[in-house]
Amino acid sequence: MSTTITEGTALNKKDFATPNDVRWCPGCGDYAILNAVQRTLPELGIPREKFVVVSGIGCSSRFPYYMNTYGFHTIHGRAPTVATGVKVSNPDLSVWMITGDGDGLSIGANHLLHLLRRNLDINVLLFNNRIYGLTKGQYSPTSEVGKKTKSTPLGSVDHPINPLLFALGSEATFVARTSDTDMKHMVETFKAAQSHKGTSFVEVFQNCVIFNDKTFGPVTSRDSKDDQVLVLEEGQPLVFGANKDKGIRLNGLEPEVVTIGDGVTEKDLLIHQPKSANSAYANLLAQMSYPSFPTPMGVMRQLDGRETYEDALCQQVSLAQSKGDGNLQELLTGRNSWVVED
Amino acid sequence: MIQPNDSFEEIESAVVRFAGDSGDGMQTVGERFTDSSAFAGNDIATLPDFPAEIRAPAGTLAGVSGFQLQFGSREILTPGDVPDALVVMNPAALKANIEDLPEGGMLVVNVDSFKKINLAKAGYDTNPLEDEEFRKKYHLIELDLTGLTKEALAETSLKPSDKARCKNFFALGFMYFVYGRPLEPTLKFFDDKWAKRLPELAEANSLALKAGYNLGDTLETARNRYQVSKVAAQPGVYRKISGNEALVYGLVVASKKANRDLLYSGYPITPASPVLEGLSQLKKYGVKSVQAEDEIAAMGVALGASFAGALSVCATSGPGMCLKSEFIGLASITELPLIICNVQRGGPSTGLPTKTEQSDLLQALFSRHGDCPLPVLAAHSPSDCFDCGMEAVRIALTYMTPVILLSDLYLANGSEPWRIPNVVDLPGIENSFANEDEEYVIYRRDPETLARTQAIPGQVGLEHRIGGLEKGEDGGVSYDPENHEEMTRLRADKIAGISKSFDPIEIRGESEGDLLVIGWGGTYGAISSAVGNLRDEGFSVSSVHLRYVNPLPDELGDVMSRFKKVIVPELNLGQLAMILRAKYLIDVISYGKVQGKPFKVSELREKFLEHVN
């Protein structure tokens, strides 16, 4: 989302911290994300009183209590609806919605879909830890098939949702991914989300240290990330690897991993183009997954120009009002009244 | 204008019912007859009655649509128990309605639809019009409406099938002759609706209407004509209004009086959709309307908007209320103002979606988990929906609470004349906004109302967090056992204390006696009529009609104790009766009915009589 930059006293990270004790488990990835958001917000040039953080239910959804802004911790899955109400009522606010894989993609998937298609100017951060943490460790809609948990002792049998494909399928205008392990990348991604006018959907890989520790370890750990993470930069070829010697090439409609050299040059590789009008490229990125492919991180889709819901709605109201404020007495009287004389 | 050449019989009131196939335009002619009667200065009450299917198979009983109205020169509180005149467009309409027509009642029949195939569809083995006994039982007027209408429209350019479709207005014209109704409002309606777009249709319908009227003049069987004079009404400007329209206007006026923009959020549901549609047309008045993806979302959008400072409103019906329950609990614990209207219909589940019922009272009172009392109001007539809409807003903003406003299908779709208030004379509504110059303590309460103040996002220095977890006074999350009890009690006390702001109970009749009838909601007209009639006959019967179902008025217990017996008629199996018994330990008599129909005055009278002497 984007909001007009306003002059004011410079804010810093501390201005966004509350005196409340943060009650996530020691080592939880949420701490890093909170830290990243508290670093991001002061840099946006928006007065603190214009931020509203809205969440649903789950570990991630305790987030508003730790942000010294206006905040609303709502009910399970329904944060998109409350965030919509806030934004429609006052489009001047910078609305941040915090959700998780259960909250956003299971009980609240329907609302998330409608938020994305309506393109309200709201930033959605979906903390994906592929587990139900607050209810103590049942599998979630993003858990991999065969996930053994207390509710699936023989392994889960249902195919997981890919959050990015869900967002792209809902025709979201901004889709990105980042990880709780990379502070700098989180801040960059959140800033990009804020600068986009329209709903910005950001999946954040988040580690649940208690119930699903290291679920993204093979991708994001210090040892593996160079070879397993593909950092996206607009206009740059899709290159990854510790030696920057691997890339992604298109073979027909299929992406393939190639090694640079051996007759393959950077010119043969796909160029990152998040603003492409057609979402096929973003879908291609979103489907690249471990272990066959490196995991893309960054902004996968950014479609500018689609009107936001709140702007369209407010325009209709202004247009109706430009012809003169309504006269209530005329409204009540209608066209078919009659008079009873004394 | 056509000059009547017959003398009229003066009557005090009359009940007319139109019945036909869903596509026959019965609702339209009913509405026009209502307008014409309002124009003639009568008091009126209407009862549209239509099936859940938009177009059930033509000619079947399932597809019968009806519209009944009562009009009079006296106070009219109900659409009437039984019709004095019944107009039926086909055999199915006859079959579905004839039982209600008393012997000697006027029966106008569209005879050309009484063909074998239509008789069979309605389940008639033989044509009842050929039965001599049947013919003698009613004042039967047989009209070949299709043929007569086509004849009247012979000179017009409409296709023959379109000509036949004007027959509802031919029938209406005939009934206008019988009851001496003015044609002008209906001719104006044609003009407004079609003159620009489809002038040939406006002309054809006008011709059909006039031809129907003129036929009455020449028809021997229609010599009985009735006159219903003007009702002695309070001077003022009047209009006809339905409950849903009145609700829309009440909410818009309240939003202006509270200086708080109205945000309406809804999901289509019968019979509340007209509230969504009505408010969507009022953008000129600053109304933002959102059609949400489902009932839950509608409530969430409203709650979010309330947090951001809007006057938020949702309207739905029973199934939607079920879905909203969890959010209503959140609205209660966060103490945000919000109006939730339930236009009740027959339940449970999909139930009788186009029929009336009052069976969501206990749901309104108790559908949340946890101890979560909320103010519950019930409108008692179509125009009262205006007052209740404003009152609900007053309570929501004064006490910082969600308010449940109960209407029902009977009120929502029914119409009555309404004396239009002067907007400037209506009282202002105060907000409980926080002040930027003071320290903001989220749950610090006004000592009088126990309401918290509201800080709106954008207010400098008042940043705060609210949510579903229990909080201490300072707004911090608190799991402290004593705090939870204290907050639960404070929220309950706040709601209970709203009764201090109520006007005293109005008792219809003496304030003590043999029988007290307690009603709520849309049964007002029937109860008041029955009680009024019995009082005229010398019985010791009084009635109280509750606008506030929670909290109940402070003096209700005292009032009840002054009567030997208390009876509670309601269109459910005894929900208010259960509450009164529990609260006052008085052995109230419950009289319930769940047929999807309003009470008849006669059945209430009979029931009340059982309990006096």
User: What domains sit in chain A, N to C, each tagged with a CATH number?
Assistant: 13-230+274-317 (3.40.50.970), 237-271 (no CATH)
Q: Are residues B171 and B276 in the same domain?
A: no
Q: Is residue B473 one of the residues assigned to a domain?
A: no
Q: Are residues B120 and B247 in the same domain?
A: no
| Residue A2: per-residue pLDDT | 53
pLDDT (tens digit per residue) in A110-119? 999 999 999 9
Check if B422 contacts A (Cβ < 8 Å).
yes
**Cβ distance of B287 and A336 shorter than 8 Å:** no
Longest dimension (CA), chain A: 102
| Residue A174: per-residue pLDDT | 98
Q: Is residue B124 one of the residues assigned to a domain?
A: yes
CATH number, domain containing residue B603: 3.40.50.920
Q: Return phi, psi of residue B209, to 5°.
A: -60, -50
| Residue B68: per-residue pLDDT | 97
pLDDT (tens digit per residue) in B494-519? 999 999 999 999 999 999 999 999 99
Which residue among B402, B425, B448 closes a domain?
A: B425
| DSSP codes, A1-65 | --------SPP-GGGGB-SSPP-SPTT-HHHHHHHHHHHHGGGGT--GGGEEEEE-SSSGGGGGG
Terminal C-alpha separation, chain B: 55
How many CB atoms lie under 10 A from the CB of residue A72?
29
Band of residue B477 on the pLDDT scale cut at 50, 70, 90: very high
Q: Is residue B489 one of the residues assigned to a domain?
A: no
Q: Are residues B181 and B283 in the same domain?
A: no
Bridge-based pairing of strands B236-242 and A338-340 is antiparallel
Before B271, cis peptide (omega within 30)?
yes
Q: Are residues B216 and B249 in the same domain?
A: no
Which residue among B400, B425, B450 closes a domain?
A: B425
Number of domains in chain B: 3
CATH number, domain containing residue B358: 3.40.50.970
Q: Are residues B375 and B337 in the same domain?
A: yes
3-state secondary structure of B77: coil
Residue A131 and residue A206 in contact, taking contact as beta carbons nearer than 8 Å: no
Q: Is A77 left (phi over 0), alpha (psi -120 to 50) or beta?
A: left
A89 closest CA partner among A120, A110, A114, A119: A120
Q: What is chain B's mean pLDDT, rounded?
A: 95
| Residue B52: per-residue pLDDT | 82
Band of residue A326 on the pLDDT scale cut at 50, 70, 90: confident
- Is the pLDDT at B265 greater than 80? The verdict is yes
Give the Cα separation of B300 and A315 in Å (integer).
23
Q: Are residues B353 and B314 in the same domain?
A: yes
3-state secondary structure of B417: strand
Q: Is residue B339 one of the residues assigned to a domain?
A: yes
Give the Cα separation of B282 and B279 in Å (integer).
5
Q: Which amino acid is at B353?
A: P
- ipTM of this predicted structure: 0.96
- Is the pLDDT at B50 greater than 90? The verdict is no
B47 closest CA partner among B409, B535, B421, B339: B409
Q: What long-range pairs does B595-600 form, CB within 8 A, spacing at least 24?
A: B596/B346, B596/B352, B596/B355, B596/B356, B596/B357, B597/B355, B597/B356, B598/B47, B598/B78, B598/B79, B598/B356, B598/B410, B598/B522, B598/B523, B598/B526, B598/B571, B599/B523, B599/B526, B599/B527, B599/B569, B599/B571, B600/B81, B600/B82, B600/B526
**Cβ distance of B239 and A325 shorter than 8 Å:** no
Which residues of chain A does B290 touch, with a Cβ-Cβ cutoff of 8 Å? 84-85, 88, 313
**Cβ distance of A323 and B290 shorter than 8 Å:** no
Q: Are residues B137 and B243 in the same domain?
A: no
Q: Tokens at residue B525, please?
A: 């007209």
Report the range of poorest mean pLDDT among A327-331, A334-338, B79-83, B451-455.
Answer: A334-338
- Is the pLDDT at B321 greater than 70? The verdict is yes
Band of residue A135 on the pLDDT scale cut at 50, 70, 90: very high
Q: Are residues B299 and B407 in the same domain?
A: yes
Q: Is residue B444 one of the residues assigned to a domain?
A: no
How many CB atoms lie under 10 A from the CB of residue B285?
22
A191 closest CA partner among A43, A297, A51: A43
Percent of chain B's residues with pLDDT above 90: 93
**Cβ distance of A342 and B235 shorter than 8 Å:** yes
Which residue among B192, B227, B262 closes a domain?
A: B227
Domain extent at residue B157 = 9-227
Check if A243 contacts B (Cβ < 8 Å).
no
Q: Tokens at residue B152, please?
A: 């009247």
Q: Are residues B263 and B119 in the same domain?
A: no
Residue B604 and residue B527 in contact, taking contact as beta carbons nearer than 8 Å: yes
Q: Tokens at residue B187, please?
A: 């001719």
Across residues B346-355, what is the average pLDDT? 96
Angle B293-B295-B297 from CA coordinates, rounded to 5° = 55
| Residue B2: per-residue pLDDT | 43
Across residues B436-442, what is the average pLDDT? 95
Q: Is residue B437 one of the residues assigned to a domain?
A: no
Give the Cα separation of A97 and A119 in Å (integer).
14
The residue with tokens 């990009």 is A192
Percent of chain A's residues with pLDDT above 70: 97
Which residues of chain A does B306 touch, with a Cβ-Cβ cutoff of 8 Å? 85
B38, B234, B465 member nearest A65 (Cβ): B465
Q: Are residues B202 and B66 in the same domain?
A: yes
Q: Looking at residue B352, what DSSP letter applies?
A: B
Stretch (H or E) spanning B296: helix B295-307
Q: Are residues B167 and B194 in the same domain?
A: yes
Residue from B245, B465, B466 to probe the interface with A (highest A Cβ count within 10 Å)? B465
Check if A338 contacts B (Cβ < 8 Å).
yes
**Cβ distance of A317 and B288 shorter than 8 Å:** yes
Residue B513 and residue B561 in contact, taking contact as beta carbons nearer than 8 Å: no
Q: Is residue B371 one of the residues assigned to a domain?
A: yes
CATH number, domain containing residue B68: 3.40.920.10
Stretch (H or E) spanning B604: helix B601-610
- Is the pLDDT at B1 greater than 50? The verdict is no
Stretch (H or E) spanning A131: strand A131-132
Q: Is residue B476 one of the residues assigned to a domain?
A: no
Q: Are residues B204 and B268 in the same domain?
A: no
Band of residue B4 on the pLDDT scale cut at 50, 70, 90: very low
Before A274, cis peptide (omega within 30)?
no
**Chain A, nearest residue to B469 by Cα:** A73
| Residue B613: per-residue pLDDT | 72
Band of residue A6 on the pLDDT scale cut at 50, 70, 90: low
Check if A73 contacts B (Cβ < 8 Å).
yes
Which residues of chain A does B185 touch, with a Cβ-Cβ cutoff of 8 Å? 336
Check if A8 contacts B (Cβ < 8 Å).
no
